[in-house]
Amino acid sequence: MKCNMGVIDRSIRGLIGISVVSAGFYYQSWWGLVGIIPISTALTGICPAYYPFGISTCKTDND
């Protein structure tokens, strides 16, 4: 799969993911595990939800 997330998109997802995991830990809730999804997409640079819509925030050489 090709990278389809830019630096800003990845940074925001990482921060949101860390916030959700932290809130889940603080409130002792299993819902904090949902934060693993944005963290994993931020680390890999691939968002599967972008593919059906043809969205890419990653810079290309043509820009």
Domain limits, the chain: 7-43
What is the model's pTM? Answer: 0.85
Taking residues 15-23, what's their average pLDDT? 98
pLDDT at residue 31 greater than cutoff 90? yes
Task: Give tens-digit pLDDT for 3-18.
Answer: 899 999 999 999 999 9
pLDDT band at 62 (very low <50, low <70, confident <90, very high): low
Going by C-beta distance under 8 Å and a sequence separation of 6 or more, which residues neighbour residue 6?
Answer: 57, 58, 59
